[in-house]
Every structure is written in C-alpha cells, then in structure tokens.
Structure 1
Amino acid sequence: MIEQQMLGAGLGAVIGAVLALTGAGGGILAVPLLVFGLGLSMVEAAPIGLLAVGLAALVGAVLGLRQGLVRYRAALFIAVIGIACAPFGLMLAHRLPNTPLALVFAGVLVYACLRIWRKAARELRGESPCGEREIMPCVLNPLQGRLRWTLPCARALAFTGMLSGLLSGLLGVGGGFVIIPALNRYTNLNMKSIVATSLAVIALVSTGSVVSASVAGVMHWWVGAPFAVGAVLGLLLARPLASKLAGPRLQQLFAVVGCGAAVLLAAKALLG
C-alpha cells in the first residue's frame, strides 16, 4: 500500500506540473493517469482526480483573487449551480458500466484537447486567444468595472454551471474546458480574468463533488490524499518555470498527449 501511495503522490506531482505549465484544463489528464498508473476504475479515479484538480485550482484562484482578476460574483453564481448538479452526475456515474463511462470520458478529452489546439494555433498566428466574440450577454459596466447582470447573462452562466457540475460528478473533471469557452463567448472579460474566474469555479465545484463522493462512500482517501498533495507540490514547483516553458507549442504538445491518452483509454475500455 505504501508503494501505491508513493506512486500516487508522484503521479499527482505530474498533474500539478501539467496544470502549472498548461493552465486550466490540464487537470483532465488526472483520471487517465490514475486509470493507467494505479489500475483504478473510472468511478474510483474520478473523485480522486477531482480532489487533486480542485486543490490545484484553489491555489491558482487565491493568486487570482490577490491580483483582482477573479469575478467572484459570477464565480459563486456558476459554482452554486454546479455544486447542486454534481450529485446527479455522480449518481449517473454509478449507474453506468465502466466501458461506456470511459468512452464518454475519451470523447470529452478529445473535445477539450481540440479546443486547446485551436487556441494555441490562434496564438501562433498572432491572433487573440479569445477568438471572435459575437454573443456577449454579460459585459462589464465601464463605470463600475463589474458585470451587468441581465436575464440572458444569468441564463448563460447558469447553463455553464449546470454543465460543469454534471461533468464534474460524472467524469471527475474540473470543467475548465467548459467554463473558459463559455466565459469567452458570453462575456467581454480578458483571458487572464477568464482563467482566474474559471479556477475559482473549479475549486468550489470540485469541493462540492468531493464532499458528495465522500458522503456516498466512494472516495478512496488513502489514494486521494497523497495524489492531491503531490499535485499541489508539483504545481508550486513547476510554477516558476511556467513563464519560461509555457506557450502555444507546449499547449499543442499537451493536446497531442491528451488525444493519445483518450485513444488508449477507449481501447482499454473496449478490449478489456
């Protein structure tokens, strides 16, 4: 058991380093790493991966708050809805067999990686990483510097929270690949504020999902605790290197690795 815990801590450190270098969304590799590295099932790996991603996101969210980048009202609104929806995702995860659950996760992983690739490609072409913005029901009030809360804005953010919460409970993913594109599409925030706000939502929703998993008795803390500690340490150690190593090419490398992990996960599920 000690060897497995040490291996779990090492794998967590890898995820923390990936998060530091690639930003929000990098934690989606936590579940495949737990499945292949520790031989866990999807249902067992999901809450453990979420614990690690949530703690790492919390570190980033606190730093974002100190820099005044987090839109905390929007983050709380999205997170409250996400926390309310997460138990439904967890319930669904326990009703689905491992094979379809793994295939769904593989599909989500490919989707997330394709979005990361396209964002990196835009940066390499010298374009804005935010891309074209056409629908923005949530815009900043130039006088107050706060988002204008309208019914379309609340509806868009509520849907974002619902989807991120369901995926959090179902697959054990933080939901950055959902939240970041949604904030990019529905708001006129800059990318730094979008990422910081997304990290705050991920930290809050992950906490709710981990609590739900613990109450349901499906959280394996003897693996989850060292994995999460390793993730935070990996994040803190790799963070100083982020300014030197991070960039669109690294994002594209992560996207390729993620797609490869999705193929392996799908093959493992189908071939046993």
Structure 2
Amino acid sequence: MEYLGYFASIIIGLSLGLIGGGGSILTIPILVYLFKVDPELATSYSLFIVGLTAISGGYSHYKLGNLNLKSAFYFAIPSIISILIIREVIFPQIASTLFTIASYAVSKDLLIMIVFAILMISAALSMIKDREITVINPKTNYKQLAFIGFLVGIVTGFLGAGGGFLIIPALLFFANLPMKEAVGTSLLIIFINSAIGFAGDLYIGTVIDYKLLLLISGMAFIGMLLGIQLSKKIDGDKLKPIFGWFVLVMGIYIITKEVFF
C-alpha cells in the first residue's frame, strides 16, 4: 500500500504540471488512505507538499513574467489572517468527538474528510464543465479580491488544500489578470498560504514525520517535472475533464466510505 502511495504521489505533481492544478485535491486522500496518516495531521502534511510544488511552479512563471505581486499580496494577506485564525485558534478547540447520533459518533476526523470530499466534488464539477470565464469588470476590485482571499484562507486553513480552483477565477474576475498571469500569481499565493499554515503548525508543536513528508514531496516534484515535459506534447485542457471525473469518483467514494463503512 505504501508503494502505491508513492506512485499516487507522482500523480499529484503530474496533474499540476499537465493541467496547472488539481493535484493538491488528491493529497489528503492519498495521505489518509494509502499512508494511514491521521486526517488532522494530513492537513499539515498537505500544506507542506502543496506549498513545495507551488513554489517550484511559481518560480517557472516568475521567469516568464507571469506574476502580479500587487494582486498576490492583496489576496494573500487576508488569507494568512484567516489561515492563522482557523489553524491556531479554532482548529485546536474542536473536540475529537463533535456529537453522537444514536450509536454513531461524528468525529473531527470525519468532519474533515466529509468537507474535503465536498470540496473535491465541487472542484471536479468545475473541471468537467470547463467553462470559459468572461471578465465583466475591467478594473481591479481589490476589496472584493481581499474578501475572497479571506474566504479561501478558511478553506486552506481547515483542509490544507491550496484552493487553486478558487483562486484562479477570483484573480480573473476581480484582478482582471490574463489566464497565464492568474495561474502564476495563484501559485505564489498558494505557496505563501501553505508556508504560513505549516509554520503555524510547527509553532504549536505538531509532530512531523519528515522522512515520510520529504519522500512524498519528492515524488510529487518528480511528477510535476514529468507533467511539465508532457504538457509540451499533450493539451492539458483536454485532460482536465477526464481528471475531473476521476476526482468526482474519489469524492463520492470518500463520502460513501466515511459515512456507511
């Protein structure tokens, strides 16, 4: 099962390299089901893995001039605030068992997996539909951008997910960025959010298995390099709906497994 986990870790990076996102949505299920990592701890590991892959991709976009620093910081600063509130204040206060219905106990771990599965299904539907995003307002709306940043920070803080599928539309709609610049800026935001969230976890004393974490991250990085090379020959936009169906099935599987088995 562990070897299967390392192979799946390559897929995380492969999807990032091929379609510019989606890989982080697989991180939590891979950590929980293949490496048997506790769901709460898996959110910390996910922040590290997502952040590492994001900065490597972001550096490539930086060299191409695809970063908008002003929009990135207007988005990232409110995100950082909400991430720290969630991970350092609210998260530790949530009881291990939230409530019990008859003999069925609803735990914090169950809540994490169910919410994450819903996020997966939402992301999958957005990839399957693959709608063209039309910018209505040509001016940058920094107030709305900051508000969306705060909301995305809540998602990142609670689930350890980068939220790229939320960040990119926000940058297109409210910052009026071209697609390539939105992708590059999104990767920078994901790195900042993930780094702050992981650093906060270290500060409160989260115990990390660095050997496992670095091995998974290394596999994801190799996958991303492969994905970047394959993207020169394969149209990532055509693969996005296929990947979306895969993520949709995984999301439904997680809900079924956690609730009924």
Q: TM-score when scaled to structure 1? A: 0.83
Q: What is the aligned counterpart of 1:182 among 152, 162, 170?
A: 170
User: Given the alignment of the two structures, is residue 71 of structure 1 paired with residue 82 of structure 2, yes or no?
Assistant: no
Q: Separation in 2 of the partners of 1:92 and 1:268?
A: 27
Give me the whole-angstrom Cα distance separating, in 2, the residues matched to 1:22 and 1:93. Answer: 32
Q: Secondary structure at the match of 1:244?
A: coil
Q: Is it true that 1:134 corresponds to 2:136 in the alignment?
A: yes
Structure 1 runs not aligned, ≥5 long: 123-128, 139-152
* Offset at residue 38 of structure 1 (A): 1.1
What is residue 141 of structure 1 aligned with on the other side?
none
Q: 1:22 touches 1:254 (CA, 8 Å); kept in 2?
A: no
Residue 108, structure 1, aligned to residue 119, structure 2: yes
Give the C-alpha shift of residue 8 in structure 1.
5.2
Match of 2:44 among 47, 51, 56: 47
The separation in 2 between residues aligned to 1:73 and 1:219, in whole angstroms, is 35
Q: How has the CA–CA distance of structure 1 residues 105 and 219 changed in structure 2, closer, same or farther, with 3 Å as cutoff?
A: farther
CA RMSD of aligned residues (A): 2.0
Q: Percent identity?
A: 28
**In the alignment, residue 230 of structure 1 is paired with which amino acid?**
M
CA 1:118–1:239: 2 relative to 1, 3 Å: same
| Aligned equivalent of 1:60 | 57
Aligned position for 1:232: 221
Does 2:256 align with 1:270?
Answer: no
Moved more, 6-15 or 21-30: 6-15
Measured against aligned partners, the alpha-carbon deviations of 1:187-246 in whole angstroms (never above 9, x if no partner) come to: 322111111110110011110011112222335233222211221122113311112223
Give the distance between the partners of 1:164 and 1:83, measured in 2 at CA: 10
Name whichever of 204-213 and 10-19 sits farther off.
Answer: 10-19
Secondary structure in 1 aligned to 2:65? coil
Identify the residue that residue 101 of structure 2 maps to in structure 1. none
Amino acid paired to 1:155: K
CA offset digits 1:23-61 (Å, max 9, x no partner): 123321111111221122321211212211111110111
> 2:142·2:174 contact (CA, 8 Å) conserved in 1?
no
Q: In the alignment, which of 241, 246, 251 is matched to residue 230 of structure 2?
A: 241
**Aligned mates of 2:86, 2:214 — CA distance in 1:** 22
Residue 161 of structure 2 corresponds to residue 173 of structure 1: yes
Residue 99 of structure 1 pairs with residue 105 of structure 2: no
* Matching of residue 214 in structure 1 with residue 202 in structure 2: yes
Residue pair 1:24, 1:198 contacting (<8 A) in 2 also: no
2:8 alignment counterpart: 11
Q: How does 1:139-158 map to 2 (within 5 A)?
A: 153-158=141-146
Deviations 1:160-180 (A, max 9, x none): 221222111100100111111
Using the size of structure 2 for normalisation, the TM-score is 0.86
Q: CA deviation at 1:181?
A: 1.2
User: 1:32 is paired with a residue of what secondary structure?
Assistant: helix
CA change 1:219–1:160 in 2 (3 A) is: farther
Q: Pick closer, same or farther for the CA change 1:133–1:64 going to 2, 3 Å.
A: same
1:192 aligns with 2:180: yes
